Amino acid sequence: MDTLQFYILISIVAIAIVAAILVLTGKVIPKPFSKLATFAFIFVLAGIFFGSDDRSIGYGLIGIGVILAVIDMFMKVKKTENN
């Protein structure tokens, strides 16, 4: 197993443990992700997974995800300012 794959496996296991703890303790996330935030998260993950083959594709996907996340933050700030 490659070192990068080992780190990814450790990260996935850590996220699964945190999710299991949150589910077992009964704490819920107050608001689900917006659609734009979900797409941003998917693009960042795709950039991480596909970045090992071609770095320009990986960085591009991560960049798209970050831009979508920033747009989502600005939209939420504008929404709270109007209310």
Q: Which residues contact 36 (CB under 8 A, 6 or more apart)?
A: 68, 69, 71, 72, 75
Give CA–CA dist 82/53, Å, rounded: 44
Q: Which helix (H) or strand (E) is 48 found in, with range? A: helix 35-50
What pLDDT band is residue 65 in, cutting at 50, 70 and 90?
very high
**What is the structure's pLDDT at 42?**
92
Boundaries of every domain in the chain: 1-30, 31-83
Average the pLDDT over 4-11 and give the result.
83
pLDDT in tens, 19-50: 888 778 876 667 788 899 999 999 999 888 88
